[in-house]
Amino acid sequence: MEPVLRLRGISKSFPGVKALSGVQLDLYPGQVTALIGENGAGKSTIVKVLTGIYQPEEGTIRIDGREIRLDGADAAAQAGVTAIHQETVLFDELSVAENIWLGHAPRTRWGLIDRQAMRAGAARLLAGIGAKLDPDQRLGDLGIASRHMVAIARALSVEARVVILDEPTAALSHKEIHELYDLIETLKAQGKAILFISHKFDEIFRIADRYTVFRDGQFVGEGQMADVTEGQLVQLMVGRSVDQIFPMRDHNIGSPVLTVSGYCHPTEFTDIGFTLHRGEILGFYGLVGAGRSEVMQALFGITAPSKGACRIDDQVRVIRSTSEAIAAGIVYVPEDRGRQGAVKGLPIFQNVTLPSLGAVSRAGFLRLAEELSLARDYTQRLDLRAAALDQDVGLLSGGNQQKVVIAKWLATKPRVIILDEPTKGIDIGSKAAVHAFMAELAAQGLAIIMVSSEIPEVLGMSDRVIVMREGRIVDEVAGDRMTPEVLVRAAAGLAVAA
């Protein structure tokens, strides 16, 4: 059988990062191909290449043997490639039919939108995927599964030949997932070539016919699902060697600082308990959506846990707000540093002192000299490159803004520092600098929690690793058990290898 879509030698790089290097991918009509890989393996990048959002620097894309260029979302739609994303963008205030046809609605002779044709077309598409929805219904009134159906109908409204499902089951209930499986069978029967991206091995084995594995932006293997075992797929995903260099550390684990027990949240996590010690780096590994960041946000007082206790130095502390967390000595460096980190428009020194205003005040008034000296101390320790401390933080480069954000937290003299994906989206050189700095902080006796989705980083930096899956702690790994296989299996919910 000839593939509908054939990618060869696709490369795509961003400043400092090679996201894809020479990958290949084949999709066959009437077959589901699972694309498997760790976070950061390049799955999302290839989806963006296929949907015309990114243009690769090298490589060829062939549809039915003909080479084409996908230089925009329009071109991809014309070529019959369509994607249903993790968070599909739909419009609550528009009807189901309007959502399906937005941007390419059928027109009347006069160039106006043909509402009748639109409604009839929507009904036909919805019936084709077995969805019982009224085309006139307002989208905002629908549940998440029905919205998914609308998204799929929308994807099919452009005469798709290739359908990409990017983590389609992440937000669905058990019953809805089975409806989605039925739908995928329907699409297969219609001869669509389907690319299925998922972290869940059970569903990959259930619905995929073929697999392709990426690792660190490279193609590492493909084949028929029937010829492969879970163990072999895990091997392909994680590879063998961890070739990044991590700083040498003395593992001087001290007394317990933070003890969390029985933390629960109505929707995000259940029964979280762990102990963190002085001088320790505790890794939190899990798939995206496992609830790691949510646990950290609860510890930092951004969301409230419904149950559970948190002790700092054997004293029970109730943390209901971020200011209480900071007072208790916990700080959180969020993942989205652009949105949650720096206040653009304020000068550097005012960004640094923002959580420490009490410490630089006398009798309720801020002392400029103390603010500047605090900011100078910590920005110098981080080797910040800036013309002056009263420069607007928005004018700094991304890496330097990050240093300001970290300086801000260190200036509060915390006991516990939580780093959420500390090296996400920064180049290798900066990564090494961040890792060295973490090691230095731990050596000074700070207790560090590092949430990370990168296995080499988790294994290279952590003293212990807690693995979360679907809002629960599923494993705690230390010593000899700290191997990629153990982490991946625990995070994906697979049995421990014999």
Residues that bind other proteins (CB under 8 A): 14-15, 300, 302, 321-323, 325-327, 332, 334, 336, 339-347, 350, 354-355, 357-358, 361, 364-366, 368, 390-392, 398, 408
Q: How far is the CB of 377 from other proteins (least distance, A)?
A: 18
**Please, which residues have CB within 8 angstroms of residue 228's CB and are 6 or more apart in sequence?**
211
Beta carbons of 183 and 130 less than 8 angstroms apart:
yes
Q: For residues 202 and 336, which CB has a smaller minimum distance to other proteins in the complex?
A: 336
Q: For residues 236 and 330, which CB has a smaller minimum distance to other proteins in the complex?
A: 330
Q: How far is the CB of 24 from other proteins (least distance, A)?
A: 25
Q: For residues 157 and 351, which CB has a smaller minimum distance to other proteins in the complex?
A: 351
Residue 202 CB coordination number (10 Å): 12
Q: How far is the CB of 12 from other proteins (least distance, A)?
A: 12
How distant is the alpha carbon of residue 405 from its chain centre?
A: 21
Q: What are phi and psi of 61, to 5 degrees?
A: -120, 120
Q: For residues 357 and 497, which CB has a smaller minimum distance to other proteins in the complex?
A: 357
How do beta strands 256-264 and 307-312 pair? antiparallel
Query: How many Å apart are CA 484 and CA 428, to the nearest integer?
Result: 20
How do beta strands 307-312 and 315-316 pair? antiparallel
How do beta strands 193-197 and 17-27 pair? unpaired
Residue 404 CB coordination number (10 Å): 25
User: Among 369, 409, 403, which Cα is nearest to 386's?
Assistant: 403
Q: How far is the CB of 299 from other proteins (least distance, A)?
A: 13
Query: How many Å apart are CA 5 and CA 16, to the nearest integer?
Result: 30
Q: How far is the CB of 398 from other proteins (least distance, A)?
A: 7
> Residue 206: which region, alpha, beta or left (left: phi > 0; alpha: psi -120 to 50)?
alpha
Beta carbons of 316 and 380 less than 8 angstroms apart:
no
User: Among 173, 271, 159, 194, which Cα is nearest to 25's?
Assistant: 194
Q: For residues 157 and 401, which CB has a smaller minimum distance to other proteins in the complex?
A: 401
Beta carbons of 461 and 283 less than 8 angstroms apart:
yes
Q: For residues 48 and 148, which CB has a smaller minimum distance to other proteins in the complex?
A: 48
Q: For residues 54 and 101, which CB has a smaller minimum distance to other proteins in the complex?
A: 54
Residue type, 85: H
Q: For residues 303 and 483, which CB has a smaller minimum distance to other proteins in the complex?
A: 303
Q: How far is the CB of 340 from other proteins (least distance, A)?
A: 4
Q: How far is the CB of 18 from other proteins (least distance, A)?
A: 14
User: Among 183, 155, 137, 2, which Cα is nearest to 81's?
Assistant: 155
Q: For residues 258 and 348, which CB has a smaller minimum distance to other proteins in the complex?
A: 348
Residue 148 token pair: 């998914």
Q: How far is the CB of 412 from other proteins (least distance, A)?
A: 9
Q: How far is the CB of 15 from other proteins (least distance, A)?
A: 6
Query: How many Å apart are CA 497 and CA 239, to the nearest integer?
Result: 16
Q: For residues 255 and 323, which CB has a smaller minimum distance to other proteins in the complex?
A: 323
Range list of H helices, 335-483: 337-340, 348-353, 368-381, 398-410, 428-443, 455-461
Q: For residues 273 and 358, which CB has a smaller minimum distance to other proteins in the complex?
A: 358
Q: How far is the CB of 429 from other proteins (least distance, A)?
A: 15
User: Among 32, 67, 61, which Cα is nearest to 46's?
Assistant: 61
Q: How far is the CB of 27 from other proteins (least distance, A)?
A: 26
Beta carbons of 292 and 268 less than 8 angstroms apart:
no
